[in-house]
């Protein structure tokens, strides 16, 4: 994966320039490939990928796989309903454009796509910090995948929406308060333009989760009084520095280990679990108190992120949600969610215990493909999905936990949302970039 950054302005300037008031439905008319409520089931989907590293390549293959398989549509009704047996095939989908900062990443992606007979023409392949701008202006692209590191998601989302494109964006959708606010605003602009946005919170498109959480919302376990979320696992990939790489290139390639790029793993990875809890309880917490640190990954190759967090989130009604996440090898692993209600409990994914136990037994789906099916079908049906706010709020939840652990202080929701702390460097270019300091509780300041 890679990333892009406007050389002539900071993100705050970009957001200020791109206000909701400036958005208008007239943009739709300027792009004949933008799909409206009159779209046909086989209207063409022409995909452009911004950030063509591992996840970008995977997402591109997912959307192509979704286009060649008979799948169930996700509609949110109970699986015993007869309508659930209806099937659709997402047709007429091609990847036609790629953008990346690094030529080698783009070429690997192009090679992988070539294996499924998808040849991206040279004039639709863009390299460099402004590559994303060139891609979104292509008139034959109407569906953009955003898979650069999370720090760039707000910028890329705004550019795609302003250009009149439907968007699939990977999670998380930001790394700080200004980025979260920008994504929420972009989501509102998308609504005005009739554009769809789906995020890479794929559990929202996994049938077992959809059915289980619908039953919870229908009152199966009563009023929810406690929640738990975990992503305790081993380490993840690391990119050692190679000779000839500048500081900036190394950090950009090794982005998971730098808070300014990834948001730290409580935001980048644990967001999946936090998003499930937000989905279940349908309201965000009001404050977070977190502990964390860096014990197993202390070498410079691991940047400045922590390797473990433990957080207590509190809601307006006094309910608590307890959260843990860890990336350390050879420890007990646990990736799960759980909620307790006045009438029973659930693991959110496939089981409800309330008197007689219920387990999901319906069709299975590949959620990485299903999220694309759901977005495409919603667009073709004239009712585009818009997950911008939901993804932004789950992202902010992770940010609250991070800055609480970094600072050693309780952090309020409004404090995190309205923060002026923009982690993006004022100017991004290949060259010297000092290694960011590791946050020390009691010394780190959050504004």
- C-alpha 208/C-alpha 220 separation (Å) is 15
| Domain identity same for 302 and 376 | no
Report yes or no: 340 and 225 within 8 Å, Cβ to Cβ. Answer: yes
**Residue 221 carries which DSSP code?**
T
| Domain identity same for 348 and 378 | no
Report yes or no: 187 and 274 within 8 Å, Cβ to Cβ. Answer: no
Q: Is 314 helix (H, G, I), strand (E, B) or coil?
A: strand
- Give the containing element (helix H, strand E) for 247: helix 247-253
- C-alpha 402/C-alpha 408 separation (Å) is 10
Report yes or no: 430 and 4 within 8 Å, Cβ to Cβ. Answer: no
- C-alpha 367/C-alpha 347 separation (Å) is 18
pLDDT at residue 9 in the model: 38
Report yes or no: 110 and 60 within 8 Å, Cβ to Cβ. Answer: no
- C-alpha 330/C-alpha 308 separation (Å) is 14
| Domain identity same for 189 and 229 | no
For residue 436, tell me if it sits in a domain. Answer: no
Residue-by-residue DSSP string for 359-406: E--S----HHHHHHHHHHHHHHTT---B-HHHHHHHHHHHHHHHHHHH
Report yes or no: 187 and 392 within 8 Å, Cβ to Cβ. Answer: yes
| Domain identity same for 372 and 238 | no
pLDDT at residue 25 in the model: 32
Domains held by the chain: number: 2
| Domain identity same for 51 and 200 | yes
For residue 424, tell me if it sits in a domain. Answer: no
For residue 288, tell me if it sits in a domain. Answer: yes
**Residue 414 carries which DSSP code?**
H
| Domain identity same for 274 and 371 | no
Q: Nearest 10 degrees: CA dihedral of 34, 39, 40, 44?
A: 0
Q: DSSP strand E in 90-173: where?
A: 93-100, 125-127, 143-146, 166-169
Calculate the alpha carbon distances from 351 to 215, 216, 275, 362 in Å: 10, 10, 18, 12
| Domain identity same for 108 and 256 | no
| Domain identity same for 176 and 246 | no
- C-alpha 205/C-alpha 227 separation (Å) is 21
Task: Give the domain extent around 75.
Answer: 11-204+366-386
The token pair at 447 is: 């504004």
Q: What is the pLDDT along the chain (447 residues), one digit of tens a residue?
A: 444 333 333 333 333 333 333 333 333 333 334 444 345 567 789 999 999 999 999 999 999 988 776 555 554 433 444 344 444 455 789 999 999 999 999 999 999 999 887 889 999 999 999 999 999 999 999 999 999 999 999 999 999 999 999 999 999 999 999 999 999 999 999 999 999 999 999 999 999 999 999 999 999 999 999 999 999 999 999 999 999 999 999 999 999 999 999 999 999 999 999 999 999 999 999 999 999 999 999 999 999 999 999 999 999 999 999 999 999 999 999 999 999 999 999 999 999 999 889 999 999 889 999 999 999 999 999 999 999 999 999 999 999 999 999 999 999 999 999 999 999 998 888 999 999 999 999 999 998
| Domain identity same for 200 and 245 | no
Report yes or no: 144 and 47 within 8 Å, Cβ to Cβ. Answer: yes
Q: DSSP strand E in 195-350: where?
A: 197-199, 224-233, 287-293, 308-314, 320-327, 334-341, 345-346
| Domain identity same for 19 and 142 | yes
pLDDT at residue 69 in the model: 60
For residue 5, tell me if it sits in a domain. Answer: no
Residue with tokens 């701008």: 133
- Give the containing element (helix H, strand E) for 49: strand 45-50
Calculate the alpha carbon distances from 14 to 17, 18, 114, 128, 399 in Å: 5, 6, 36, 19, 21
Q: Peptide bond preceding 237: is omega within 30 degrees of 0, i.e. cis?
A: no
pLDDT at residue 82 in the model: 37
pLDDT at residue 41 in the model: 62
- C-alpha 235/C-alpha 114 separation (Å) is 31
| Domain identity same for 139 and 223 | no
For residue 72, tell me if it sits in a domain. Answer: yes
Furthest CA-CA distance within the chain: 64
The token pair at 267 is: 């935001």
| Domain identity same for 224 and 107 | no
pLDDT at residue 68 in the model: 72
The token pair at 72 is: 């169930």
For residue 15, tell me if it sits in a domain. Answer: yes
Q: Which of 325, 346, 335 is nearest to 225 (CA)?
A: 346
Report yes or no: 68 and 367 within 8 Å, Cβ to Cβ. Answer: no
Q: Is the pTM of this model over 0.85?
A: yes
Contacts of 192 (CB under 8 A, 6+ apart): 20, 23, 24, 25
- C-alpha 330/C-alpha 156 separation (Å) is 37
For residue 428, tell me if it sits in a domain. Answer: no
CATH code where residue 33 lies: 3.40.50.720
- C-alpha 296/C-alpha 203 separation (Å) is 30
- Give the containing element (helix H, strand E) for 27: helix 26-30
Q: How many residues does this entry show for the chain?
A: 447
For residue 423, tell me if it sits in a domain. Answer: no
CATH code where residue 288 lies: 3.30.360.10
């Amino acid at each position: 994966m890679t990333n892009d950054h406007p050389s002539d302005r900071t993100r705050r300037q970009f957001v200020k320039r791109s206000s909701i008031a400036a958005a208008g439905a007239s943009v739709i008319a300027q792009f004949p490939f933008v799909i409206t409520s009159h779209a046909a089931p086989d209207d063409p989907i022409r995909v452009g990928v911004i950030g063509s590293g591992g996840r970008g390549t995977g997402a591109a293959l997912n959307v192509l796989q979704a286009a060649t398989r008979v799948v169930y549509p996700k509609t949110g009704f109970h699986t015993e309903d007869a309508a659930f047996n209806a099937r659709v095939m997402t047709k007429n989908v091609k990847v036609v454009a790629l953008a990346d900062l690094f030529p080698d990443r783009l070429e690997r992606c192009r090679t992988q796509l070539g294996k499924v007979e998808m040849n991206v023409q040279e004039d639709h392949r863009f390299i460099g910090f402004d590559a994303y701008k060139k891609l979104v202006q292509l008139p034959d692209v109407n569906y953009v995948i955003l898979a650069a590191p999370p720090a760039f998601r707000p910028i890329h989302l705004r550019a795609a929406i302003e250009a009149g494109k439907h968007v699939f964006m990977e999670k998380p959708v930001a790394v700080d308060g200004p980025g979260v606010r920008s994504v929420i605003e972009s989501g509102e602009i998308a609504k005005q333009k009739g554009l769809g946005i789906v995020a890479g919170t794929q559990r929202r498109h996994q049938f077992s989760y959809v059915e289980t959480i619908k039953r919870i919302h229908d009152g199966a376990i009563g009023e929810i009084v406690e929640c738990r979320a975990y992503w305790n696992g081993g380490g993840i990939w690391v990119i050692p520095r190679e000779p000839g790489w500048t500081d900036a290139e190394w950090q950009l390639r090794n982005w998971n280990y730098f808070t300014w790029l990834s948001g730290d793993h409580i935001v980048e990875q644990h967001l999946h679990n936090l998003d499930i809890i937000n989905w279940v309880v349908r309201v965000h917490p009001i404050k977070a108190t977190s502990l964390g640190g860096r014990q197993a990954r202390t070498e410079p190759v691991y940047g400045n992120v922590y390797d473990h967090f433990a957080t207590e989130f509190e809601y307006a009604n006094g309910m608590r949600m307890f959260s843990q996440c860890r990336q350390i090898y050879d420890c007990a692993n646990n990736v799960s969610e759980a909620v307790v209600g006045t009438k029973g409990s659930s693991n959110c994914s496939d089981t409800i215990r309330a008197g007689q136990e219920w387990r999901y037994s319906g069709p299975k789906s590949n959620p990485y493909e299903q999220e694309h099916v759901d977005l495409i079908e919603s667009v073709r049906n004239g009712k585009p999905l818009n997950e911008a706010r939901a993804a932004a709020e789950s992202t902010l939840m992770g940010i609250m936990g991070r800055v609480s652990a970094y600072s050693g202080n309780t952090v309020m929701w409004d404090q995190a949302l309205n923060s002026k702390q923009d982690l993006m460097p004022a100017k991004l270019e290949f060259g010297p970039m000092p290694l960011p300091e590791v946050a020390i509780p009691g010394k780190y300041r959050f504004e």
